[in-house]
Chain A
Amino acid sequence: DARVTQTPRHKVTEMGQEVTMRCQPILGHNTVFWYRQTMMQGLELLAYFRNRAPLDDSGMPKDRFSAEMPDATLATLKIQPSEPRDSAVYFCASAWGQGRETQYFGPGTRLLVL
């Protein structure tokens, strides 16, 4: 049963600390998305990659967030330095195709920045 996996599932950290979230897309999928979800804003697309190349990261605060895909089986989202307003659930999703394909979401990383 192929799934998107994310680690850690929960993270509590102090303001100013670096946070790294990891995602393993479904094997064979060529597109990876990072989303953030909060009660106030709902779901927001932060960035996405196709064939490991970043296609759009306009939803991401550039000064503190960075997203990479070191290889086809790993995507990372890093926040440095973290702030309380970054507290949210961060979802990774993967898909195969060119844009209209079904996205499969991971279970999310619940981040709390104190």
Chain B
Amino acid sequence: KNQVEQSPQSLIILEGKNCTLQCNYTVSPFSNLRWYKQDTGRGPVSLTIMTFSENTKSNGRYTATLDADTKQSSLHITASQLSDSASYICVVSASATGTASKLTFGTGTRLQVTL
């Protein structure tokens, strides 16, 4: 059964600190992995999309890594800001053709950045 597990479930860090969120998946065949940021009361916003051949992808202070061998991904946030407080959702596509119908969603990591 395709699964995506994220850890930690929640995290509190001080403003300015770095943090790393984890995503482990058992999805096959792997097509791509996405990280989304979701602010409370809003729709998710795409941060990165990574395919099998990509190990690292950055979007500003967000850097995603992918290890297709161990089926793990991480999202690293550098120099956190209060506006980074949100849920971060990992989504893996299992379709060989990349179609959306085989998406498996993680339950998210709730990040809170405090002063």
Nearest-neighbour CB distance to chain A for B37, whole angstroms, equals: 11
State whether the Cβ of B107 lies closer than 8 Å to any Cβ in chain A.
yes
A91 B98 Cβ-Cβ under 8 A? no
Chain B 60-77 interface 0/1 with A at a Cβ cutoff of 8 Å (1 = within) = 000000000000000000
B89 A43 Cβ-Cβ under 8 A? yes
Residues on A with C-beta less than 8 A from B91 are: 43
Nearest-neighbour CB distance to chain B for A27, whole angstroms, equals: 18
Asked if A99 meets B43 with Cβ closer than 8 Å, knowing A42-B89, A42-B105, A44-B105, the reply is no
Asked if A55 meets B32 with Cβ closer than 8 Å, knowing A42-B108, A106-B43, the reply is no
State whether the Cβ of B49 lies closer than 8 Å to any Cβ in chain A.
yes
Residues of chain B at interface, number, CB under 8 A? 23
The chain A residue sitting closest to B104, CB to CB, is: A45
The chain A residue sitting closest to B91, CB to CB, is: A43
Question: Chain A, interface size: which category?
Answer: 20 to 34
CA distance A45 to B105 in the complex (A): 9
CA distance A58 to B106 in the complex (A): 19
The chain B residue sitting closest to A40, CB to CB, is: B107
A98 B98 Cβ-Cβ under 8 A? yes
The chain A residue sitting closest to B45, CB to CB, is: A105
B43 A91 Cβ-Cβ under 8 A? yes
B106 A55 Cβ-Cβ under 8 A? no
A-B contacts, 20 listed (Cβ < 8 Å)? A33-B100, A42-B89, A42-B105, A42-B108, A43-B44, A45-B103, A48-B101, A55-B100, A55-B101, A58-B101, A99-B93, A99-B97, A99-B99, A99-B100, A100-B31, A100-B49, A102-B46, A105-B43, A105-B45, A108-B42
- In addition to A48-B100, A58-B101, A100-B49, 12 A-B residue pairs with Cβ atoms within 8 Å of each other are A42-B106, A42-B107, A42-B108, A43-B89, A56-B99, A56-B101, A99-B98, A100-B31, A100-B98, A102-B49, A107-B42, A108-B42
